[in-house]
Chain A
Amino acid sequence: MIPLQAVTLTDRILNLIGLDASTAGPLVVFGVSILAAGLVGTFVLLNTAVAGPYAKRKITAAFTDRISVNRIGPAGIGTIVVDSVRLLSKELIIPEDADRPAYDLAPILLAGSALLGFAVIPMGSGIQVADPEIGLAYVFAVASIASLGLLMAGYASNNKYSFLGGLRAVAQNIAYEIPLVLTGASVVIFAGTLRLSEIVAAQEGTLLALGPVAIPNWFAFVNPFAFALFMAANLAEVGRNPFDIPEAPTEIVAGYQTEYSSVYFVLFYLGEFIHIFLGGAIITTLFLGGPAGPVLPGIVWFTIKIWSVFLFTQWARSAVPRFRIDQLIALGWKVLLVLSLANLLLTAVIVGVIA
């Protein structure tokens, strides 16, 4: 296992090219940082590209006993290329009365906010662009910018369905962000820090050893209750069944993205999937020991873990009906919020008493 150090990717690249972070000029550090961010961004986008047009279809097909794409490339993998090129080459229609800057910014905001979150996620093998002390707060903060994007999209499209979708999205995100953050806070109490690399480090070691099987000290095992809460709130946060009401096709067509075509639609589509992966990354970091795992390098374990979360969202999508908007809000405010508060208090008491 590669030891996790509080060393960022920028420092590592600098070391690689024989420079020292403390002595290199600020311009060089800036350039290298951009490079590091680019690398991480590429990695994330690569995952999304596989997930969006391809894996999603294949996974849904597997759940519903179909084959799905299989004509272009081995097992249809070429669909990633053709789909994206085709979508990008479509006509970009902007509705007549669209609120222009907002209409254009919304998709960028959605995709960008999710990508920003990845800046502080420790992905193993020393890949982490930045490791600020308030890492967790930062992730939650940038992830919630997305709801602003959704509201902008819904409002600016000048379409009633978009409008309803945007409002639904905001109502839902606000209702579920609080339980999400509160549950995240219970992890912070365990780990005693907001710095993500330290949260990961806190999960090293063994919780229980059952003969040859050692259960690691992941917070998912330490506090499964918080894990379940977080998973549920996260599903709502990324808008997947049973909480996919902001874009529920049979109710409000496609919600906030109804009017978007071509590039903007691709950005929305991408943004959604980046958000799912960001959700997966947060869950991985907070509850699943980050990139920790035997034999394989950290980045591989990290990828496996975020993909498991993705698989879970697709599973839920295939099999679970969606809530009604009022039921969803009621569940968020009356159940999840109370449970996450209780969880936080209990954790605080237990940690305070025991430690």
Chain B
Amino acid sequence: MSSDHTSPADSTETKSTREARMGEGVDDRFNSRLREAFGSSPFILTKFDQFMNWVRGSSMFMLQFGIACCSIEMMHTYAVKHDLDRFHAGVPRASPRQADVMIVPGTIVSKFAPRMKRVYDQVPEPKFVIGMGSCTISGGPFQEGYNVLKGAEEVIPVDIHVPGCPPRPEALVYGVAKLQERIANGESSPVVVKPYELEEFGDLEDDELVEHLADQIDAEDLVMRYNWVDSP
């Protein structure tokens, strides 16, 4: 699967995740009307940006979200001994509406990817993603599988990758701390545009497969298309 179907508008060129997330033009991360009124960024707003970055980097609610093996180590990270809450990041919220950070702990397969994207879309901005484990980087040990996505980045933007199979809790703690640092320094920025929504089946380019499936899937159904040839 390539990233081309993730943003139907410019399906020919492939963007880096960061480019796709930042959108074109000036960095209008906080969508501030004030900023427009002032023209360029005045001192007070820069300071405000810095403050907001610091706030977001200092505290976060996690999405309670387990996929595979890594979720076991993730549970250990939340629990006694490693206690992620020390870093102001240990409140798991079951509802995506109340979460800031999504830790993706495990292999993503074709059936789950659209659901994960949906969950990601449900998280309110600003949101950040930590990819935990090799599977979210490249598919890990299952990369050659017929059903396995070659990394979480094919579906949603990832801010921090924590390598390991599975990463130790210490590694995840380090990843979270690193993410906080990046957010606080303004390096990991919230999304402005949302290029990651699922597309409707009716919008897919007509080809053999689409015609074949036309009687099984309604045109309004949201779908995700996998072009395995283009996968890394």
**Are A and B direct contacts in the complex by CB distance below 8 Å?**
yes
Whether A61 sits at the interface, judged by CB under 8 Å, is yes
Q: What mask results when residues 79 to 97 of chain A are scored 1 for a CB within 8 Å of chain B, else 0?
A: 1011101100111110000
With both beta carbons as reference points, the residue of chain A lying nearest to B91 in the complex is identified as: A57
Please give the distance in Å from B51's CB to the nearest CB on chain A: 8
In angstroms, Cα B59 to Cα A253, docked, is: 22
Please give the distance in Å from A94's CB to the nearest CB on chain B: 10
Q: Are B80 and A65 in contact (CB under 8 A)?
A: yes
In this complex, how many residues of chain B approach chain A with their Cβ under 8 Å: the count is 27
Q: Are A92 and B124 in contact (CB under 8 A)?
A: yes
Contact of B124 among A85, A90, A250 (CB under 8 A): A90
Q: Are B86 and A259 in contact (CB under 8 A)?
A: no
- From 231 to 263 in chain A, residues with beta carbon under 8 angstroms from any chain B beta carbon are 249-250, 253-254, 257-262
Spot the interface stretch: A3-11, A68-76, A332-340.
Answer: A68-76
- From 99 to 121 in chain B, residues with beta carbon under 8 angstroms from any chain A beta carbon are 100
- Classify the secondary structure of A's interface with B: loop
Whether B76 sits at the interface, judged by CB under 8 Å, is no
Q: Are B125 and A76 in contact (CB under 8 A)?
A: no
Q: Are A254 and B125 in contact (CB under 8 A)?
A: no
In angstroms, Cα B95 to Cα A71, docked, is: 26
Whether B143 sits at the interface, judged by CB under 8 Å, is no
Contact of B85 among A61, A78, A91 (CB under 8 A): A61
Please give the distance in Å from A13's CB to the nearest CB on chain B: 36
Whether B193 sits at the interface, judged by CB under 8 Å, is no
**Most A C-beta atoms less than 10 A away, residue of B79, B80, B95, B122:** B95
Whether B93 sits at the interface, judged by CB under 8 Å, is yes
Q: 11 pairs across A/B with beta carbons < 8 Å?
A: A67-B85, A69-B88, A79-B59, A82-B54, A82-B58, A83-B59, A86-B100, A258-B95, A258-B97, A259-B97, A260-B98
Using CB atoms and an 8 Å cutoff, list the residues of chain A in contact with chain B.
57, 61, 64-72, 76, 78-79, 81-83, 85-86, 89-93, 249-250, 253-254, 257-262, 265
Of all A-B residue pairs in the complex, the 3 with the closest CB atoms, nearest first, are A91-B124, A261-B97, A91-B125
Using CB atoms and an 8 Å cutoff, list the residues of chain B in contact with chain A.
52, 54-56, 58-60, 64, 79-80, 83, 85-88, 90-91, 93-95, 97-98, 100, 122, 124-126
